[in-house]
Chains A and B, each alone.
Chain A
Amino acid sequence: MKLYLDLDMEKCSACGACAVACMDQNDIDPDRELPFRNVFCVDRRDSAGVESVCASLSCMHCADAPCVPACPSACLAKDAETGFTLYDNQNCIGCHSCAMACPFGVPSFNSQGKMEKCDGCSVRLAHGMEPACVRVCPTGALRVYTEEAYRAVHGSRSILRVLQLL
């Protein structure tokens, strides 16, 4: 069952609960490591004026993920069932090819120099639990959708809108 981890941009207030829950789930020390999920508010200017836009971003789990073929050690792969971009960093040589290939600069590197990133909390999902960021989100902005549910949601509120903003 293909899954989408998506953000309703109209509900996001960039409160950062998702980013903190992600750091708690993944034991991230932000003084030394890059978090897997980040929130931000940016002022966007258009003909109607200036508007503060809030968003929460992590790995976009691209359908055609450029990080996968970029890795010389074959650490990254698309999960056949969920469609998430998963990894096993045992063979990671720390070459940063994945990070350079990623249009969002998502992959980060831990203190051993090995790549880490959001895996959609795939083990939690397999045990009937939501990703940590979705579980905590106090405004209901972050959700995991099945493909069917995702198509029913109007795309104008999706995180894909970030692509137009950037």
Chain B
Amino acid sequence: MTELEKLRKAKIPCPETGITVRHTLCDICTPDNHCGVDAYVLDGRVIKVEGTKEHPHNHGLLCTKGAANREYIYREDRLRTPMRRVGRRGEGKFVPITWDEAYDEIVRRLDAVRREEGADAVAFFSGYTKWYRTLLKRFAYSFGSVNYGTESSVCFDATFMAWAATTGSFAVPDLDRAATYIGWGYGPHYSGHLSVGGMQAFKERGGRLLIVDPKITPAVKMADLHLQLKPGTDGALALGIAKVILDNGWADMDYVEKHTAGFEEYRAEVQKFDLKTVEEITGVAPKLVAAAAELIATGGPACMHQSASPITQHRNGFQNYRAILALLALTGNYDCPGGNIPIHFTYNYQAAGFATREREYTTATRPAGDRTRIGADRFPVWNLFQDEFQAMDLSRQILEGTPYPVKALFACGMNLLMFPDTDQLRRALEKLDFFVDIDLFETPCTRYADIVLPACTSFERGEYRVYPSGHSFYTKPVIDPLYESRSDADIITDLARRLTPEDTLLCQGYEAAIDYILQDLSISVAGLKDSEFPVMTPEARPPRVGLTRTQGCPTPSGKFEFSSTLLARCGVNPVPNYPENLRRPEGGRKFILATGVRLPNALHSRLHKVPWLRSLRPEPMADISLADAARLELERGDTVRLTTDGGSLCVKVNPTSTVLPGTVHLFHGYEKANVNALLPADWLDPCTGFPAYKSIGCDMEKCPAPDGEKG
């Protein structure tokens, strides 16, 4: 091999090889990460990726998913052209059409629905990812529809609502100054890799780590104490910990008296959860509950990190979450050094220490009609806190037509397999007058659309991002858009020019939107584009600690509300509680099934067809405990039938010591092992409308063969 051949094979960027390194970001997962990526480009094609060392957020690191960006962006099933459906809905038969033909038909059809049924009869939905949501929301409102909704109907929003109902703002752990770190349902290794380093550093300086999780995750191996509770029983555990704290006189009564509201009602609820009751419900031994209480209350400043959504994905998820938050107030760890510090979002679900005009941009054209959003009547708590429809009521409203008909759907990246009772949504999509879906790939959802439009990835566009460090980043495309694909934002802009021409700001497109949002700041799109890397936003400031202790919380009472004023107004129990009917989460069945528990190589359904990632776990497999495997005489690769009140499916098993006996974990989004179909459409938290993905009663029996060879 010649020296040049060696350089080419090793993909060394240099003049001899012609390989250049260009900077972009990974848009596979949540805005919490969006790691900087170095794309190695040769002849207009990405030949390798690495994390960007100069990036202030990921410092060169990537996770399993991000490392697979090259295969992700070049997936063979990328949509190549706009397409019109020619087969029946769901069949997947399409013919290519031009962009103009697609736009003309979308405009004609959406206009017709708007004219005949009213603009609210068109629902606008965003799946993953979230980068264009600012524009989509304004587009929905300018079109005249109150119905803008997102996949956040099942993800982060319930977490946000629990904070909003309790303290008025979201709050993050001040890990650098904490002595105790509570990771409640939190395991960063497979979902938030950038937090692993902080956890390691915390441990190395002698901090004590408490993990509450039904699984033995890699984070549990780092923990000083692990409470391995039954899925969904978090509220009972948190109330039980509170009782130990109160009984021992460990509560910070000075904080409670000065800064909280509703303590007596909370104390009365706590009294129901003695250690014996807690053990019966959660399965956690009394001595471990007591040890956790002592650690949280007496171990110095304690901060808490909860996962983005799993805690809220139970029948009592919202109240469970509030019961966990109450521990911060009880121990005086809210808004203090080493506790949890309130933050405010800057842009696109991220707090970067400065304010933008994102909210003004998205809400300026909100229609003033009298129709309520989808799900507003069924989920009043959701409707109070969220400025979007609750997507878990979408299929019902389409099918039943009440309180008014929804006839058309404009969706970006919609994931059919996210929805409980997937067949109900399929029936709803079949009933629509018109459905347009924008995506990167052909999916089970695009097969139902009348018009499908090809979007491009973050590598093929420019976009604005903010990071918690205060940095702003405006990326530039590192390759041209593949095939005929266009960016989601450009597609929305093109359609806005045809459907909402009176909204001149929206019609100016994405960069104009960002410049509008940044208008009070010293940065602009043009200036940010001059830099290859994120730049510090001059106006960014670190969160101010202790402000709620002097100026009060942004709640109706101005206090940390054990008993929530706003929940009481919605007719919901205002005090964190754990209901009698969930004392046995498995109900009448033998196991608790949790869907979507994180795997390192998967995110929703979007990575199942990436060969590098699929090779790490080639088939859908249910993780079960060693004890249950032994009892049912199951070995790795054997097949079981899982049955719930929603249905049944057959899947292979992976017995592992990381799983609690009595529980079954199966990742979602596999077409041939679609586990979310096992959840009935109404298997929801009644407060938030969130599906109880993480706990449903389930039976498991050995069966001859799986439903599908590959998912």
Contact = CB atoms under 8 A, between A and B. Distances in A.
Contact of B656 (A25, A31, A41): A41
A50 B64 contact: no
A19 B612 CA distance: 8
Interface in A42-93: 43, 50-52, 54, 88, 90
A17 B51 CA distance: 12
Interface in A14-39: 14-17, 19-21, 23-25, 28-31, 35, 39
Contact of B1 (A13, A35, A54, A88): A88
Contact of A138 (B61, B613, B614, B656): B61
Given A24-B68, A52-B658, A136-B51, A19 B616 contact: yes
Leading 5 A-B pairs by shortest Cβ distance: A30-B615, A123-B10, A13-B218, A138-B193, A15-B600
A83 B64 CA distance: 29
Contacts of B186: none
A135 B50 contact: yes
A140 B656 CA distance: 25
Contacts of B612: 19-20, 23-24, 28, 30
A123 B60 CA distance: 20
A52 B221 CA distance: 9
B197 A135 contact: no
B200 A17 contact: no
Interface of A: 10-11, 13-17, 19-21, 23-25, 28-31, 35, 39, 41, 43, 50-52, 54, 88, 90, 121, 123-124, 127, 129, 132, 135-140
A103 B193 CA distance: 33
B197 A140 contact: yes
B64 A11 contact: no
Nearest to A137: B61
B581 to A, nearest CB: 34
Interface string B61-92: 11110111011000000000000000000000
Contact of A11 (B200, B657, B658): B200
B196 A138 contact: yes
Contact of B64 (A10, A16, A51, A135): A16
A121 B11 CA distance: 10
Contacts of B216: 52
A89 to B, nearest CB: 9
- Which of B10, B70, B614, B658: most chain A CB closer than 10 A? B10
Contacts of B62: 17, 21, 136, 138
B626 interface: yes
Contacts, number: 111
Interface residues of B, number: 43
Contacts of B10: 25, 121, 123-124, 127
B601 interface: yes
B218 A31 contact: no
B68 A20 contact: yes
- Which of A23, A24, A29: most chain B CB closer than 10 A? A24
Interface string B85-118: 0000000000000000000000000000000000
Given A39-B616, A52-B216, A140 B194 contact: no
A135 B60 contact: yes
11 contacts: A11-B200, A15-B193, A21-B62, A24-B67, A24-B612, A28-B612, A30-B612, A30-B615, A127-B12, A136-B51, A138-B196
Contacts of A35: 615
A121 B70 CA distance: 19
Nearest to A34: B615
Nearest to A50: B657
Given A20-B67, A123-B7, A139 B189 contact: yes
A15 B189 contact: yes
B661 to A, nearest CB: 12
B48 interface: yes
Contacts of A11: 200
A45 to B, nearest CB: 9
Contacts of B600: 13-17
Contact of B67 (A17, A30, A90, A124): A17
Contacts of A16: 64, 600-601, 613, 616
B67 A13 contact: no
Contact of A17 (B60, B64, B194, B614): B64
- Which of A14, A28, A139: most chain B CB closer than 10 A? A139
A62 to B, nearest CB: 23
Contacts of B6: 123
A123 B12 contact: yes
A51 B656 CA distance: 9
A123 B48 CA distance: 15
Interface string B396-429: 0000000000000000000000000000000000
A136 B68 CA distance: 11
A13 B192 CA distance: 13
Contact of B657 (A39, A43, A121): A43
A24 B66 CA distance: 11
